[in-house]
Amino acid sequence: MSNFNLNLIEDIPKLEQLNLETGRRYLAEDGCIPEPGYPSVTTVLGADKSKEAGLKKWRERVGEEEANKISFRATSRGTAVHQILEDYILGQEAKTKPMPIHVDMARGLKRFADLYINNIRLVEGQIFSHHLRVAGTVDLIAEFDGEMAVIDWKTANYPKKRNNINNYFQQEAAYAVMFEERTGIPVKKLVTLVAYPDGTQMFVEDRDDWIDGFVELRDKYELGIQSNIS
């Protein structure tokens, strides 16, 4: 049984996820998304060329094999912690036993949830926007400290610096617009909760400060796709 007030929205069209060489895309089961589907929010953000140089230097410094191991561990950790939080919010039993380090990282996020989160509207919910021409899966939309918010769980090895995680806020701003388009419920607050081995961080932002940056990246992504086709 959940400790939270579950007021889940059930009438959003179900999406079909397609994993292509060009990235992840989504189609709607009711056919309302045009072919070849909308790209995922993370696919659009991942096409940002400004981050490629830094990532390439890091892979060269640590070596390709080690970089792949680190990336795999980070992905596995994020998936495990997300599942722990999803089970906790919904009050459901875990299907698998998580590793102790993942339980420890999730514990700090649970404290924030207990203090601030209620009126749960969407958990790991697939949404899309015809206006933004993107789709994706949002971690959580719920009230945070009494105000409807997009809430994003993140894991890291070290504390994050705000000026290094603009992509987090752009991602969440896109989800806020997508959710409002689908439901008519406005969401202005963006909350990023980051768990790392020694603690937890919280960043609170405003959607309107970040959505223009996402739209700019979306436009660049679409231009790149068109250039590849031509």
Predicted confidence (pLDDT) at residue 30 exceeds the cutoff of 90: no
pLDDT at residue 201, as a whole number: 97
Q: How far apart are CA 126 and CA 139, in angstroms?
A: 9
Confidence of residue 226 (pLDDT cuts 50, 70, 90): low
pLDDT at residue 188, as a whole number: 98
Q: How far apart are CA 176 and CA 72, in angstroms?
A: 29
pLDDT at residue 169, as a whole number: 98
Per cent of the chain over pLDDT 70 is 93
- When pLDDT is averaged across residues 72-81 and rounded to a whole number, the result is 83
pLDDT at residue 214, as a whole number: 97
Q: How far is CA 117 from CA 63, 98, 141, 167, 203, in A?
A: 41, 23, 10, 23, 15
Name every residue whose Cβ is closer than 8 Å to that of residue 72 and which is 6 or more positions away in sequence.
none
- When pLDDT is averaged across residues 58-87 and rounded to a whole number, the result is 81
| H/E element, 153 | strand 147-155
Predicted confidence (pLDDT) at residue 50 exceeds the cutoff of 70: no
pLDDT in tens, 115-131: 999 999 999 999 999 99
The CA R_g of the chain, rounded to the nearest whole Å, is: 18
- When pLDDT is averaged across residues 177-186 and rounded to a whole number, the result is 97
